[in-house]
């Protein structure tokens, strides 16, 4: 056993020969195992947050295995305890399962059966500890609303921290559902401004009311204007105006917006008086504005006026290691709102979800979390993955993409089952440590994110 690695199994068995044979069988299966001879020794050995499982004989000198089960469940109700008996007592098995035993094995048992049960319990244990870690990391949710511990998200937070107080106009580029408004709100929060955050969807605002909504209007400026209307730019004060889907703004209005940005003042409809503006403009787009400009569908001068600073949001497929954290957060939100429990997921399911491309990005994942809590998620293979239907079944994605997705799924599952230990994950996959490390780096994974505890 590698003594610098965490223990997978604590074996409690008073028979020295059985303890030695069982310990060797578990170690040969790649499971780091410690053995003790009594319930009292087990309690002294176990530390809070133990990341492994307990395999315990029911008949022990001193406290019995059932008594140890009760004591351990008081400390950690989710710690898997597998009880072993040589007496074939069905009533005892029923009582043990009712009292929270993870499983019950009757002697004599095969080493293969024990290893299989232990591995399933260990995978569940690591998922439980990972969920605890995610909840602790989430706490009440980050103040800026930006969830994720990936390198890409850390870089994004650093950029927001830099740009926030600078008060310059910002252009955000990101795919649908990537969280452009969340970033805009984070910039507003980082600015320290006392003014309002005003969000405007340029594609949803009719051209006929655009000017009065954005620039404001004096009483009598148009039919039905019975009183002065303060436009959104003026209303924001020294806050932030978020122009979402800026690419959908009509060209005629782009000219007027350009002038407002150049002059930093606005004239309400029906007025000749310029009102100074103190707000910051944050615009967002999901397309290449320069390409639109070359096609004559967006003003190039407006692009450069908006693009004082730019932020490129990574799609979810480029930060897959954030999916467990996001999924845990969205499921907790959905469960609270819907008054339902969050169903547990397996390591294989999580690996499959991390292998998906999620074209709808974080928004799609949030909707998926709601369906999961509602019990509406089918167990169909993830989009883009080959199915086991037979030799004629072909992946829906290009072959290279499908193979990469399958590779990612296997590696993620191995990391989950090995608690982020690259050497042990490599053993499960039949890969040398360096080879697996290179593949993890190429796929953009972070082995530390899968460490239990």
CATH number of the domain to which 195 belongs: 3.40.50.300
Token digits of residue 32: 């780091």
Q: Do 300 and 336 fall into the same domain?
A: no
Q: What mean pLDDT value characterizes the chain?
A: 83
Q: Which of 44-53, 256-265, 384-393 has the highest mean pLDDT?
A: 256-265
Mean pLDDT, residues 28-54:
90
Q: Are 284 and 184 in contact (CB under 8 A)?
A: yes
Q: Do 133 and 23 fall into the same domain?
A: yes
| 220 vs 280, higher pLDDT | 280
17 lies in some domain: yes
Distance of alpha carbon 205 from alpha carbon 222, whole angstroms:
18
Q: Do 388 and 435 fall into the same domain?
A: yes
What burial letters (b/e) apply to 351-373, b meaning 16+ CB within 10 Å?
bbbbbbbbebbbebbbebbbebb
Q: Do 45 and 127 fall into the same domain?
A: yes
CB count within 10 Å of CB 217 equals: 21
**Does the pLDDT value for residue 45 go beyond 50?**
yes
Nearest residue to 204 (alpha-carbon basis) of 195, 196, 194, 214: 214
Token digits of residue 43: 């309690």
Q: Do 259 and 359 fall into the same domain?
A: no
The pLDDT value given to residue 88: 61
3 lies in some domain: no
Read off the pLDDT of residues 121-156 as tens digits, 9 standing for 90 and up. 888 888 777 767 666 555 544 545 688 878 888 899
Please give the share of the chain, as a percent, with pLDDT higher than 90.
39
1 lies in some domain: no
CATH number of the domain to which 358 belongs: 1.10.8.60
Last residue of a domain, one of 77, 110, 138: 138
117 lies in some domain: yes
Read off the pLDDT of residues 284-295 as tens digits, 9 standing for 90 and up. 999 999 999 999
Distance of alpha carbon 38 from alpha carbon 41, whole angstroms:
5
Q: Do 61 and 204 fall into the same domain?
A: no
The pLDDT value given to residue 310: 95
Read off the pLDDT of residues 356-389 as tens digits, 9 standing for 90 and up. 899 999 999 999 999 999 988 865 444 433 333 3
Distance of alpha carbon 188 from alpha carbon 241, whole angstroms:
9
Q: Which of 175-189, 218-232, 372-386 has the highest mean pLDDT?
A: 175-189
Q: Do 275 and 307 fall into the same domain?
A: yes
The pLDDT value given to residue 351: 81
Last residue of a domain, one of 94, 111, 138: 138
Distance of alpha carbon 87 from alpha carbon 83, whole angstroms:
12
What is the residue range of 204's domain? 151-315
| 194 vs 396, higher pLDDT | 194
Distance of alpha carbon 248 from alpha carbon 313, whole angstroms:
20
Token digits of residue 282: 């944050």
Mean pLDDT, residues 18-33:
92
Q: Do 334 and 417 fall into the same domain?
A: yes
Mean pLDDT, residues 183-210:
89
Q: Do 303 and 375 fall into the same domain?
A: no
The pLDDT value given to residue 383: 40
303 lies in some domain: yes
Q: Quote the pTM value.
A: 0.58
**Does the pLDDT value for residue 400 go beyond 80?**
no
Q: Which of 26-40, 102-116, 127-141, 408-422 has the highest mean pLDDT?
A: 26-40
The pLDDT value given to residue 107: 82
Where do we find the tokens 């609270």? 336
Q: Do 324 and 262 fall into the same domain?
A: no
Q: How far apart are the first and last CA of the chain?
A: 20
146 lies in some domain: no
Distance of alpha carbon 2 from alpha carbon 444, whole angstroms:
28
Q: Do 107 and 155 fall into the same domain?
A: no
Read off the pLDDT of residues 309-338 as tens digits, 9 standing for 90 and up. 999 999 999 998 888 888 888 888 888 888
Number of domains in the chain: 3
CATH number of the domain to which 134 belongs: 3.40.50.2300
337 lies in some domain: yes
Task: List all residues 6 or more positions away from 249 whose beta carbon is below 8 Å from its beta carbon.
Answer: 202, 243, 257
Q: Do 311 and 167 fall into the same domain?
A: yes
Q: Are 148 and 315 in contact (CB under 8 A)?
A: no
Please give the share of the chain, as a percent, with pLDDT higher than 70.
87
SS3 content of the chain, % helix, strand, coil (to 5): 50, 15, 40
Last residue of a domain, one of 117, 138, 159: 138
Give the H or E element holding residue 235.
Answer: helix 232-235
Side-chain half-sphere exposure of 345, counting CA atoms within 13 A: 24
């Amino acid at each position: 056993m590698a003594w610098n690695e965490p223990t997978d199994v604590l074996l409690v068995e008073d028979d020295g020969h059985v303890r030695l044979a069982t310990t060797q069988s578990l170690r040969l299966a790649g499971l780091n195992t410690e053995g003790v001879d009594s319930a009292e020794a087990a309690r002294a050995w176990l530390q809070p947050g133990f990341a492994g499982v307990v395999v315990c004989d029911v008949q022990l000198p001193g406290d019995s295995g059932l008594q140890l089960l009760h004591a351990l469940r008081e400390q950690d109700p989710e710690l898997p305890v597998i009880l072993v008996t040589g007496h074939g007592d069905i009533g005892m098995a029923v009582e043990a399962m009712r009292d929270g035993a993870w499983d019950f094995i009757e002697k004599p048992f095969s080493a293969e059966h024990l290893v299989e049960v232990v591995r399933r319990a260990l995978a569940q244990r690591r998922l439980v500890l990972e969920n605890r870690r995610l909840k602790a990391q989430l706490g009440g949710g980050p103040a800026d609303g930006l969830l994720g511990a990936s390198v890409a998200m850390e870089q994004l937070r650093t950029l927001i921290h830099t740009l926030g107080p600078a008060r310059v106009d910002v252009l955000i580029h990101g795919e649908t559902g990537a969280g452009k408004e969340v970033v805009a709100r984070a910039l507003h929060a980082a600015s320290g401004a006392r003014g309002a955050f005003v969000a405007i969807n340029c594609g949803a605002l009719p051209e006929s009311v655009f000017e009065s909504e954005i620039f404001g209007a004096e009483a009598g400026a148009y039919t039905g204007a019975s009183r002065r209307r303060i436009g959104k730019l003026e209303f924001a004060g020294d806050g932030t105006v978020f122009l979402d889907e800026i690419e959908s703004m009509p060209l005629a209005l782009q000219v007027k917006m350009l002038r407002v940005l150049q002059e930093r003042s606005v004239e309400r409809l029906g007025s000749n008086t310029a009102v100074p503006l103190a707000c910051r403009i944050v615009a967002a787009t999901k397309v290449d504005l320069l390409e639109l400009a070359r096609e004559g569908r967006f003003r190039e001068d407006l692009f450069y006026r908006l693009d004082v600073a730019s932020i490129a949001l990574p799609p979810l497929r480029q930060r897959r290691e954030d999916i467990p954290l996001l999924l845990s957060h969205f499921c907790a939100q959905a469960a609270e709102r819907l008054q339902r429990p969050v169903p547990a997921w397996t390591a294989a399911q999580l690996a499959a979800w991390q292998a998906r491309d999620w074209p709808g990005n974080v928004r799609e994942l949030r909707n998926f979390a709601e369906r999961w809590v509602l019990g509406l998620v089918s167990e169909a293979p993830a989009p883009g993955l080959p199915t086991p239907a037979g030799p004629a079944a072909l992946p829906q994605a290009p072959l290279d993409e499908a193979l990469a997705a399958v590779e990612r799924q296997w590696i993620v599952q191995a990391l989950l089952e090995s608690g982020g230990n690259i050497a042990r994950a490599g053993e499960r996959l039949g890969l040398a440590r360096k080879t697996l490390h290179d593949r993890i780096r190429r796929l953009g994974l972070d082995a530390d994110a899968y460490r239990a505890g």
